[in-house]
Amino acid sequence: MMVVPEGIGTSNLQPLGVAGQSAQLWLARPGAKKEDKAPTSVSLSDQGLVQVLEAAVTGLEPGKPYLLALASEPSGTGVLEPLQGFTTNPAGAAVVNTIGPIRQLVRGEASPRRYLVILPGTPDNHGAPVQVQSE
């Protein structure tokens, strides 16, 4: 039995549209130089009005709780909006996922602009930023 009896099988396929769009961001320690390798990569995949955020986090202390948040200042300070708490594995890494209208905020497409940041601790009890969005 043939799945596509005639032709090459692409006649009813459509482009992914907005679901095929994504943005790539990087987080690095505060004050890192542009040429320094950023330890965390963030992918924002569009799903219409919201995006799926997937962060491949590295360079943190093993087995500790951290918080991925949006900050009102590029330095990771100011008003914080928690996105997702996570705990690093024995290598000091984690894969963090969350959903929301994030691209519009972190790329300056909405006002006020926000910046991705990673802080040690929890939403209720956290320390200073250890990684901030790099441009």
Please state, for a pLDDT cut of 90, what percent of the chain lies above it: 59
| 105 falls within a domain | yes
pLDDT of residue 102: 87
* Edge-to-edge strand list for the sheet holding 51-57: 80-87, 65-71, 115-120, 131-134, 22-28, 40-46, 51-57, 94-100
Q: Can you give the pTM of this predicted structure?
A: 0.81
Q: Quote the number of domains for the chain.
A: 1
Find the mean pLDDT for residues 25-48: 86
* Per-residue pLDDT band at 131 (split at 50, 70, 90): very high
| 8 falls within a domain | no
pLDDT of residue 52: 94
pLDDT of residue 103: 81
User: Across-strand partners of 43?
Assistant: 24, 54
Find the mean pLDDT for residues 4-28: 70
Over 90: is that where the pLDDT of 127 sits? Answer: yes
Residue 35 sits in a domain whose CATH number is 2.60.40.200
Which amino acid appears at position 56 of this protein?
A
72-82 pLDDT per residue, tens: 999 999 999 99
pLDDT of residue 50: 83
Contact residues for 36 (Cβ-Cβ < 8 A; gap 6+): 28
| 96 falls within a domain | yes
Find the mean pLDDT for residues 19-35: 80
Q: Using alpha carbons, select from 114, 94, 112, 84 the residue that is nearest to residue 102.
A: 114
Which amino acid appears at position 118 of this protein?
I
Q: CA 42 to CA 39: how far, in whole Å?
A: 10
| 10 falls within a domain | no
Look at 18-27, 53-62, 102-111 and tell me which has the smallest mean pLDDT: 18-27
Find the mean pLDDT for residues 93-107: 89
Q: 67 is in which domain, residue-wise?
A: 18-134
Contact residues for 66 (Cβ-Cβ < 8 A; gap 6+): 57, 60, 85, 86, 87, 88, 94, 118, 119, 120, 121, 130
